[in-house]
Structure 1
Amino acid sequence: MELHENLEEEPNFLVEFDSSVSGAFQSHLKLYKIRRKVSISPCSDLSLWAVLPQTAAEGLAKPLLEKGGRPVVLTPDPRAACMGWRLIIQKEDVAQDVVPTAQVRSAKDYHKHRYQKGIPEGVKDLPPGVALPLESNLTFMNGVSFTKGCYIGQELTARTQHMGVIRKRLFPIRFSAPVTAEGISAGATVLTESGKQAGKYRAGEDDVGIALLQSEKIKVPLYIKTSQGHQVNIIPSVPDWWPKANK
């Protein structure tokens, strides 16, 4: 997101990324700055919060700010309205001091919410070199441009979009029983009743998660095996925020 307000100011941008790959991400950006006088550094003095909506209408409404509360950034989550707003404040501040109606919840609650909505995030859900933009529904989340100049992977992405055939997608799934005790390995195979492969499990929290599945098989009974070899049924769903043509 762009921070400067007029052309006379030095341009500044905030880029959100997975903190587990901070070093690799900064090195990747520096690789492409060439000889430009660009400074790249983490903002250790800031903290990021998600202001999640309780209802669909609430997701579109700007959160009520505390009088005198001054967030660094308060902007709609660009991925989908169901993800509410992104709030960036000084690290020493508390979200409730800025958005008084907010209830501070855990990171686990946040991840469960986005898995229920089918929103992938970070290298766990979108493993580098494995996840493809269109299969990951990034076109639905303002994550792919078909008008800008060249970028790595543009040819494959544009060709797939032009053909209009995307056989696999990331779908939100619900387990028939919580699997936290035994766990399911990332990349575990999703199978049909007859034992045919239907896709791969990506990640989850408690009884919800996301999996890359063949679209034609999401309505048939599916199951996955836990790390202990036990069978757990899964129920995929189509998110209500997807474009109607893709439901």
Structure 2
Amino acid sequence: MNRFRPSLLVHGRCLHHLQNAGPVCSHLKSRSVIRFSGPDTIKFLQGLLTNDVRRFGEPPCEDNSAIPTPNVASVVVPPMYAALLTPQGRFLYDFFLYRPPQPEEKLDRTGSGPGSGSGGSVEILADVDRSLLDELLATLKKYRLRSKVDIENLAEDFSCWQRYGWNLSGKTPAVEEPEAASVGWGGGVDRSGKSASHGNDVGWLWFKDPRLDCLGFRGIFPSGRSPPLVESDKETDEENYLLWRLGKGVAEGSTEIPKGEAIPLEYNFTGLNGISFDKGCYVGQELIARTHHRGVIRKRLLPLKFLDNNGKEVEGRVAPGSEVINPASNKKAGSVTTALGFCGTGVLRLDEAFKGSNSLIIQGQEDIKVETIRPDWWPSEWFQDQKHTAMA
């Protein structure tokens, strides 16, 4: 049996190895962490972001979004994906939001069940794009005005991680990986294991990625130590996580989702659980609501492969921003947004992307064909949108 080796995963040609790899983890050095705290935290974020942040103000409940750890009560608030937009409804920044559990929310006094919750001010951590951290902090503080909310840079204290790959499940770690059975609370606790798993009693856990189950698990953990379920032979470069996402047609961060230009619905934020349509007003909400209720999205982000005339994969020759055209009609289908090896993503017109002729090429590089892929997580109604678009 072939054993997965992270070192083998280099650029697009090793995507095939990744598709068959067991669960692996990547430290997301492209992401950073900020903290919101104070009595107006929920109100402040609710008026800014695309998702309904009020859920973080509700009492925690039993939930299966986290990988359970033996003897730890599963009293959690699942994370949330959201975006901050321009007033014109264009993408600026994305956020993975977490409400850290309070110590008293983990277990009751008997150590056998959920605690009652803190009842105090809500604290929220956000996993954000590191390359634009200073700009993001300045933008948030501009919107803060007189709101009683503190915004702190925790880039040195916490790190962002992703756990993904083939055969990934939400089973109890003791079942999925027996070596994790000692990590937990209560009798027979491995204290070093508990520290690694929960970040000095704060309660850090792996959570299901709030966008799609197929993306795996995501978490924020104290810097300087490995999260639970991470071993030296299972940690791999962040570039491989990018490859994993490219294969699913999921963009992340302001490099892959052009800041000030991208329309979130074209980048599939609805299917990625990143937008609430009944939360009320937020920055940029008017355009998003109008586009959504109009019903048809003519362009969407989708996975691409770059091939030569013989159908062989072409690596490293396509750059982001390259235009994709149909040479038969000389119509522009869209453009490449991200490329790595022979894989990429692009925002393409659906009527051109799925004609079935496989005739799309890169403009100016007519020897490179573009193969479009239908993500299996797309809702069926998006294909109906495609039919309506083709008939229009």
Q: What TM-score, normalized by structure 2, do the two folds share?
A: 0.57
Matches within 5 A, 1:176-191: 176=307, 177-180=313-316, 182-184=317-319, 186-191=320-325
**2:376 maps to what in 1?**
240
Matches within 5 A, 1:45-124: 45-55=157-167, 58-61=168-171, 63=173, 65=180, 67=183, 68=193, 69-71=196-198, 72-95=204-227, 98-99=228-229, 103-124=234-255
Q: 1:197 to 1:225 in 2, by over 3 A?
A: closer
Aligned to 1:78, the other structure's residue is in SS state coil
- Whether 1:159 and 2:290 are equivalent positions in the alignment is yes
**2:310 maps to what in 1?**
none
Aligned to 1:143, the other structure's residue is in SS state coil
Which of 333, 340, 344 matches 1:209? 344
Q: 1:4 to 1:133 in 2, by over 3 A?
A: same
Find the aligned partners of 2:272 and 2:370 in 1 and give their Cα distance: 25
Residue 128 of structure 1 deviates from its aligned partner by 1.3
Which amino acid is 1:224 matched to?
A: I
Find the aligned partners of 1:36 and 1:73 in 2 and give their Cα distance: 30
> How big is each residue's C-alpha offset from its partner over 1:222-246, in whole Å with a ceiling of 9 and x where there is no partner?
11147xx564111111111111222
**1:127 maps to what in 2?**
258
Which amino acid is 1:143 matched to?
A: G
Residue 62 of structure 1 deviates from its aligned partner by 5.6
> How big is each residue's C-alpha offset from its partner over 1:50-98, in whole Å with a ceiling of 9 and x where there is no partner?
000313xx34446554623424232111110111101222211124xx1
Preserved CA contact (<8 Å) 2:318 2:339: no
Unaligned segments of structure 2, at least 5 residues: 1-97, 103-116, 175-179, 184-192, 199-203, 308-312, 384-392
Find the aligned partners of 1:237 and 1:62 in 2 and give their Cα distance: 33
**2:152 maps to what in 1?**
41
**1:193 maps to what in 2?**
327
**2:306 maps to what in 1?**
175
Find the aligned partners of 1:187 and 1:27 in 2 and give their Cα distance: 28
Unaligned segments of structure 1, at least 5 residues: none
Residue 48 of structure 1 deviates from its aligned partner by 1.1
> How big is each residue's C-alpha offset from its partner over 1:135-170, in whole Å with a ceiling of 9 and x where there is no partner?
100000111110112122211111111111110000
- Whether 1:11 and 2:146 are equivalent positions in the alignment is no
Find the aligned partners of 1:189 and 1:18 in 2 and give their Cα distance: 26
Which of 266, 273, 292 matches 1:142? 273
Residues paired across the two proteins, number: 239
Aligned to 2:288, the other structure's residue is in SS state helix
Aligned to 1:148, the other structure's residue is in SS state coil
| Cα RMSD for the two superposed structures | 2.0
Q: 1:63 to 1:238 in 2, by over 3 A?
A: farther
Identify the structure with bigger relative contact order (alpha carbons < 8 Å, sequence gap 6+).
2
Q: What TM-score, normalized by structure 1, do the two folds share?
A: 0.89
Find the aligned partners of 1:144 and 1:207 in 2 and give their Cα distance: 31
Q: 1:141 to 1:62 in 2, by over 3 A?
A: farther
